[in-house]
Amino acid sequence: MLNLIGKGLMRKLIILLLGVSVIPVLIVGVLGFQFGKQALNDQIIESYTAIAEGREATVIQYLDAKRILNESMAADQFIEEKVQGLVNGSANRDNADKLVEYLKVKKMPLDKSIIEMLIIGMDGKVITSTASQEIGRDYGREAVFLQGIKRSYIDDVAVATGKELPCFTIASPIKDLHEAGKLLGVIVSRIDLKELNAIATNHEGLGESGEAYIVNQHGFMVTESRFLKDVILKQKVDSEPVRLAHNQNRMMAGIYNNYRDMKVVGASMGDDLNEKFQLGWTILVEIGADEAFQTIANLARIIWMVSGVIVVAVLLLAVYFGRSLSEPIRRVAENLAATSTQMATTVEEHERTASSQASAVNETSTTMNELGTSARRVEEQADAAMAGASEATMLAEEGGRNVHEMLDAMISMKEKVAATAQQILSLSEQTAQIGNITSLVRELANQTNLLALNAAVEAARAGEHGKGFAVVAAEIRKLADQSKKSAERINALVEDIQTSSNSTVMVVDESTKMVELSVRLANNTAGGFEGVVHATGSAFESLQQIALNVKQQAAAINQVVHAMQGINAGAKETAAGISQSKVGIGNLKDAAQKLRTLVGHADDTH
């Protein structure tokens, strides 16, 4: 069982194919029908105009033949002689009867449509006639005589006297054969309408509803009707072509209502007929409009039938091609939907991973920012410690210079300090204290080195955001302060020694030995100060190295911070890109779903 294609692409394809094929076909069909209708309409009207022209020509030929026959009888020698005799009064009644007999036997058989003949004298009265009731009748005031003595004349249809039979009359002048220009009378033939009816009412080419007939100048029919009986000189015709012919002497062809008030397609003729015979007749050829335009109706049916066949063919082709096209598209849509679903799942996993990475990078970046801040603080504290150590070195150097000056003074006063031996002893004790302080300074220097080492270790590890280094730096600052205080105490002791020396100037001699001892002690003190200066310088150099290391670490940390900031920004951009990819894949998935909906899917399979 074939897959059932749902609403979607097939329907649209069918509509599209119908639109691009049926609509043009319909347009062409409608336009073709309109143009064809107009052309057929014109052709139909022209065809009936041609029939009317043919009927007019036939009537003209018919009447012309009757005229010629009547003229030939007027020129008959026997008739001329008998009429001349009757006119001159030389012939008797017997000759009149012979003339009538001659007309009946010799002339009327030549045209069986002649119902009677009569001879009218120049006085307008009937000399003789095949109809005895006509003899003696005065036609002197009638057109048949007045026009008949001038030329051959055909009179309108009328009812023959005593016969109650409609006919038309032909009159021709009888000329004297022996005297040119002399007229003897008028020969008149009354013609029945059988032949004229046969010509006018010929239905060939007029179908089932068509007819041809003749209307006289008074608007009455002078030939039979195909559909009504006993209409000659009784049926009044007031249709549009008759009015145009009588009022404007203009013929027409077109659609109008006839004497039966039925819509017909017709044509009128009579110009040539009336120009030749002055009868005032109008020949009409008509056919029912429905029958006349049956060809157009058939054309419309054919066009609609062909259009219907085309629609069905296009519909079948659309279904066929729709099935052929929609199935591959449906499979592609399903594959696209499955792929987009897998991609969406993968992107969601990547999005979660990227979000976690972005969060971790953000936390790391925050930590590194804090570490950078701590590094900058450690750097500032190292700079402060280095400044303190430098100041302590300067003070130690200044103390050394003071000791040397004191030593010089003591040497110069060696002879005078003998008396101050006891004071010098006291000074020695104080100097011993200075030695102790110097030892303390040495010990502090050792501790400073140890702390510097620890600070380096702490800085390398940079644990706990550099707190260890901060503690070490604080201890360095404390030791520097203690060194400063010790130096100040040394200065104070030196001042005491100077005071004692001043007080013992008078007893220098007694205290010479003590002065010498003091000199030795002073030398030792100077050496000690030099050691302090050396130790302080070493500590200062160590602090400089520590500060340099701290600055390098701070710079490295700053670089790491900048790198982490870049990584953080990249992680955010990655997360944003994945989100955009997720949106795009979602749109792709929606598009695939719409495509599946568009082409439909199989409800049943083989």
Please determine, for residue 594, whether its predicted confidence score (pLDDT) is greater than 90: no
Please determine, for residue 507, whether its predicted confidence score (pLDDT) is greater than 60: no
For residue 120, what are the CA distances in angstroms to 71, 132, 333, 355? 15, 13, 109, 135
Residues 6+ apart with CB under 8 A from 598: 8, 9, 12, 333
Structure tokens at 55: 């009927």
CA atoms within 13 A on the CB side of 413: 26
What is the average pLDDT across 99-124? 94
Q: What percent of the chain has pLDDT over 70?
A: 69
Domain spans in the chain, listed from the N-terminal domain onward? 75-190, 197-294, 365-583
Structure tokens at 508: 């220098």
> pLDDT at position 6, please?
47
Please determine, for residue 5, whether its predicted confidence score (pLDDT) is greater than 60: no
Please determine, for residue 92, whether its predicted confidence score (pLDDT) is greater than 50: yes
Question: Which residue, chain included where needed, has tokens 């979000």?
Answer: 355
> pLDDT at position 111, please?
94
Q: Which residue has the higher pLDDT, 196 or 566?
A: 196
Contact 515, 417 (CB under 8 A): yes
Q: Which residue has the higher pLDDT, 133 or 381?
A: 133
Q: How far is CA 475 from the centre of its chain?
A: 83
Helix (H/G/I), strand (E/B), else coil: 46? helix
Residues 6+ apart with CB under 8 A from 33: 299, 300, 303
Alpha-carbon span 320 to 430, nearest angstrom: 123
Please determine, for residue 604, whether its predicted confidence score (pLDDT) is greater than 60: no
What is the average pLDDT across 446-450? 75
Please determine, for residue 190, whether its predicted confidence score (pLDDT) is greater than 90: yes
CA angle, 400 then 396 then 540, to 5°: 135
| Among candidate residues 261, 235, 120, the one with its CA nearest the CA of residue 166 | 235
How do residues 413-441 score in pLDDT, each as one tens digit? 666 655 655 676 676 677 677 667 767 77
Name the CATH topology of 197-294: Beta-Lactamase (3.30.450)
Alpha-carbon span 148 to 167, nearest angstrom: 17
Q: Which residue has the higher pLDDT, 41 or 336?
A: 41
What is the average pLDDT across 505-533? 69
Backbone phi, psi, residue 116, to 5°: -165, 155
**Count of CB atoms situated within 10 Å of the CB of 465:** 18
Domain 75-190 matches domain 197-294 at the CATH topology level: yes
Confidence at 1, pLDDT banded by 50, 70, 90:
very low
| Among candidate residues 321, 243, 227, the one with its CA nearest the CA of residue 282 | 243
Alpha-carbon span 247 to 227, nearest angstrom: 27
Alpha-carbon span 143 to 233, nearest angstrom: 19
| Among candidate residues 115, 78, 83, 109, the one with its CA nearest the CA of residue 96 | 83
Residues 6+ apart with CB under 8 A from 60: 272, 273, 276, 277
Backbone phi, psi, residue 418, to 5°: -60, -40
What is the average pLDDT across 248-275? 95
Alpha-carbon span 143 to 146, nearest angstrom: 5
Alpha-carbon span 285 to 269, nearest angstrom: 9
How do residues 317-365 score in pLDDT, each as one tens digit? 767 766 666 666 667 667 766 776 776 677 677 667 767 766 766 776 6
Identify residue 312 by its one-letter amino acid code.
V
**Dihedral (CA of 358, 364, 368, 371) sign:** positive
Q: Indicate left, alpha or beta for 233 from its phi (over 0: left) and psi (-120 to 50: alpha).
A: left
Q: How far is CA 282 from the centre of its chain?
A: 63
Q: Which residue has the higher pLDDT, 170 or 309?
A: 170
Q: Which residue has the higher pLDDT, 164 or 134?
A: 134
How do residues 44-79 score in pLDDT, each as one tens digit? 899 999 999 999 999 999 999 999 999 999 999 999
> pLDDT at position 85, please?
86
Alpha-carbon span 547 to 389, nearest angstrom: 12
Say what the pTM is: 0.51
Confidence at 104, pLDDT banded by 50, 70, 90:
very high
- Class of 75-190 per CATH? alpha beta
SS (H, E, C) 236-277: ECCCHHHHHHHHHCCCCEEEEECCCCCEEEEEEECHHHHHHH
What is the average pLDDT across 279-291? 95
- Class of 365-583 per CATH? mainly alpha
Alpha-carbon span 27 to 36, nearest angstrom: 13
Distance linking the first and last C-alpha atoms of the chain: 4
Q: Which residue has the higher pLDDT, 421 or 546?
A: 546
Residues 6+ apart with CB under 8 A from 274: 280, 281
Residues 6+ apart with CB under 8 A from 52: 212, 253, 266, 267, 268, 269, 283, 284, 285
Q: Please, what's the b/e burial string for 417-454 (b: 16 or more CB within 10 A of its CB; e: otherwise)? A: bbbbbebbbbbbebbeebeebbeebeebbebbeebbee
> pLDDT at position 126, please?
95
Confidence at 566, pLDDT banded by 50, 70, 90:
confident
